[in-house]
């Protein structure tokens, strides 16, 4: 059991999604477990990411041969398969000790796409119906799975996800010959359809069954193929708009295989991944459109600046902002101001003028925000706005300049 768990959890670790939020399921009668809408982290790994679910593969035997995946057919690695009862038992015992919020179950493709999907659904069904388990279940939908199985999965799972992995169809075809965009988008669209239909039903009857109440998510691998940030963010923005995804995850490519089709990287593009997440946050919580952050002139995000600061410096006509007069949306766009502090500012100014000392208390990062703010009563804020002076204050040294330190002798001789 120890070995199986080791193999099948290591095989699942490159799937970055581990959230348990968005679903408030109540504990079934006579059962155990519920869903906490805010999500709960039970531990954190060395990279600082939340461990919330038991994230495992049912099996790492796989018929497919995707270049970026460590479980591909042509890799010579130890293979293992869980019996469904083993997974069920592990989930219940871990849950009872408060180690996890629930299960994230995915799998390599054994037998056929539909046999695999059916096995995943069976585990969720056993947990929900036999053991009356109310905790969180995230099921991975296998690309190409039949709509009937997806419809069943949605009734037991809190969240479903289909991974796009490569942000362009040509790239996906090249790296994963057995997959295409149709096999990814068909289940994604049918999940979206299912969510909409069940929502409509729940308006008529409160006893209507719920379908994937925490929505669906997907993952894009960054840096394994040549797409620009513009392509990635426009794809993500479409997914949020059209398929109404809850989350798009970005996974900086980590070379697990030697393959001529893949780039050789010194280290995973973590900073790029971080900038993409920042941009994603701006789209979801700060009302930014993707084309405000990247466009044909700037197809990639600036690695040295966070995307909000980069946008602000390109738009001097919008600054400086007076927090006592501006509306919430304008305040949200000031670098160093978060959603929480913006709301506190708007709440606070109902009682009087908001001054610099209040901003600090509200959690505004003044070091970043001050150049973008104007307060006629504060010392050190200015009515004129000069991006070229502000940029050096905000930029963080990039990976490339850090690297070039080692090459300095070369530069000197040149």
Q: Which is nearer to another protein, 291 or 347 (CB)?
A: 347
Q: For residue 102, what are the β-bridge partners?
A: 53, 136
- Residue 355, judged by CB atoms within 10 A of its CB (0-12, 13-18, 19+), counts as middle
Beta strands 159-161 and 136-140 are parallel
Residue 32 binds to another protein (criterion: CB under 8 A): yes
Shortest distance, position 99 Cβ to another protein, whole Å: 5
The span from the CA of 330 to the CA of 75, in Å, is: 52
Using the rule CB under 8 A, is 258 a contact of another protein? Answer: no
Pick one of 74, 76, 98, 377: the residue that binds another protein (CB under 8 A).
98
Q: Write out the DSSP string of 200-240.
A: HHHHH-TTSPP-STT-EEEEEEESSS---HHHHHHHHHHHH
Q: Work out whether 97 is an interface residue with another protein (CB under 8 A).
A: yes
Minimum distance from residue 413 beta carbon to another protein (Å): 33
Give the CA-trace dihedral at 390, 250, 49, 292, to 10 degrees: 30
Strand partners of residue 81 = 59
- The three-state secondary structure class of 10 is helix
Binding to another protein (CB under 8 A) within 270-289 occurs at 270
Chosen residue from 54, 69, 117, 342 binding another protein by CB under 8 A: 54
CA distance 89 to 103: 11
Determine if 346 is a binding residue for another protein (CB under 8 A): no
β-strands 50-51, 43-44 pairing? antiparallel
Binding another protein (rule: CB under 8 A), the pick from 2, 74, 264, 413 is 2
Residue selected from 199, 287, 347, 380 as contacting another protein according to rule CB under 8 A: 347
Q: Smallest distance from the beta carbon of 160 to another protein, in angstroms?
A: 21
Of the listed pieces 27-35, 114-122, 181-189, 280-288, which binds another protein according to CB under 8 A?
27-35
Contact flag: residue 90 with another protein (CB under 8 A) = yes
Q: What are phi and psi of 104, to 5 degrees?
A: -115, 110
Residues that bind another protein (CB under 8 A): 1-2, 5-7, 9-10, 12-14, 26-27, 30-34, 36, 38, 40-52, 54-55, 90, 93-94, 96-99, 252, 254, 267-268, 270, 344, 347-348, 351-352, 354, 358, 361-362
């Amino acid at each position: 059991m120890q070995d199986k768990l080791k193999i099948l959890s290591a095989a699942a670790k490159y799937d970055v999604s581990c959230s348990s939020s968005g679903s408030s399921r109540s504990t079934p009668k006579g059962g155990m477990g519920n869903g906490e809408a805010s999500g709960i982290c039970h531990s954190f790994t060395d990279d600082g990411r939340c461990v919330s679910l038991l994230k495992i593969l049912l099996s790492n035997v796989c018929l497919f041969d995707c270049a970026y995946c460590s479980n591909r057919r042509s890799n010579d690695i130890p293979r293992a398969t869980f019996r469904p009862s083993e997974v069920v038992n592990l989930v219940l015992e871990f849950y009872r000790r408060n180690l996890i919020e629930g299960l994230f179950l995915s799998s390599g493709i054994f037998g056929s796409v539909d046999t695999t999907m059916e096995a995943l659904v069976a585990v969720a069904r056993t947990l929900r119906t036999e053991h009356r388990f109310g905790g969180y279940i995230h099921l991975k939908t296998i690309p190409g799975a039949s709509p009937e199985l997806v419809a069943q999965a949605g009734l037991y799972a809190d969240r479903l996800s289909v991974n796009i992995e490569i942000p362009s169809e040509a790239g996906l075809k090249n790296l994963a010959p057995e997959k295409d965009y149709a096999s990814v988008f068909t289940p994604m669209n049918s999940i979206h359809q299912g969510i909409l239909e069940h929502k409509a039903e729940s308006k008529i009857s409160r006893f209507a069954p719920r379908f994937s109440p925490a929505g669906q998510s997907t993952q894009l691998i960054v840096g394994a193929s040549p797409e620009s940030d513009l392509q990635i963010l426009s794809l993500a923005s479409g997914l949020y708009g059209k398929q109404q995804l809850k989350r798009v995850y970005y996974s900086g490519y980590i070379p697990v295989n030697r393959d001529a089709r893949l780039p050789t990287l010194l280290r995973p593009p973590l900073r790029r991944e971080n900038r993409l997440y920042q941009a994603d946050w701006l789209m979801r919580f700060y009302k930014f459109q993707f084309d405000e952050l990247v466009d044909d002139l700037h197809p990639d995000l600036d690695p040295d600046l966070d995307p909000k600061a980069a946008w602000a410096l390109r738009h001097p006509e919008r600054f400086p902002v007076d927090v006592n007069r501006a509306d919430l949306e304008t305040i949200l766009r000031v670098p160093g101001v978060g959603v929480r502090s913006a709301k506190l500012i708007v709440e606070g100014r109902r009682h009087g003028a908001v001054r610099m000392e209040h901003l600090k208390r509200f959690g505004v990062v003044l070091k970043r925000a001050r150049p973008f703010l104007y307060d006629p009563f504060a010392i050190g804020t200015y009515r004129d706005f000069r991006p070229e002076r502000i940029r050096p204050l905000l930029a963080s040294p990039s990976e490339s300049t850090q690297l070039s330190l080692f090459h300095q002798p070369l530069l000197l001789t040149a």
